[in-house]
């Protein structure tokens, strides 16, 4: 899907989840870093990236991402639940 639409934020988020499940934290973080500016109103990216950073041991960056996600109004149901 990314070959056809390399800037699709939903596909980047999905791949980030798959990469995280496979233990590829750097790859997951890269996908989320790329997805965030493409769809800045989608708060789930912030919470997902906080999880990736927390698993990598970067608690400060995880906290900043979580705080940023909480500042934004969720535009999707999973983000409301994550809050």
Task: pLDDT band for 13, please (50, 70, 90 cuts).
Answer: very high
Instruction: Tell me if 28 sits within 8 A of 19, measured CB to CB.
Output: yes
pTM as predicted: 0.82
Region of poorest pLDDT, from 5-9, 24-28, 62-66, 79-83: 79-83
Instruction: Please name which of 83, 66, 72, 2 lies closest in space to residue 39, comparing C-alpha atoms.
Output: 72
Q: How far apart are CA 41 and CA 23, in angstroms?
A: 27
């Amino acid at each position: 899907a990314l070959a056809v639409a390399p800037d699709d934020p939903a596909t980047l988020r999905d791949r980030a989840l798959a990469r995280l499940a496979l233990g590829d934290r750097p790859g997951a973080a890269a996908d989320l870093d790329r997805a965030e500016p493409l769809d800045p109103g989608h708060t789930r990216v912030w919470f997902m990236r906080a999880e990736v950073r927390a698993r990598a041991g970067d608690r400060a960056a995880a906290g900043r991402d979580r705080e940023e996600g909480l500042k934004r109004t969720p535009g999707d149901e999973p983000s409301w639940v994550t809050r």
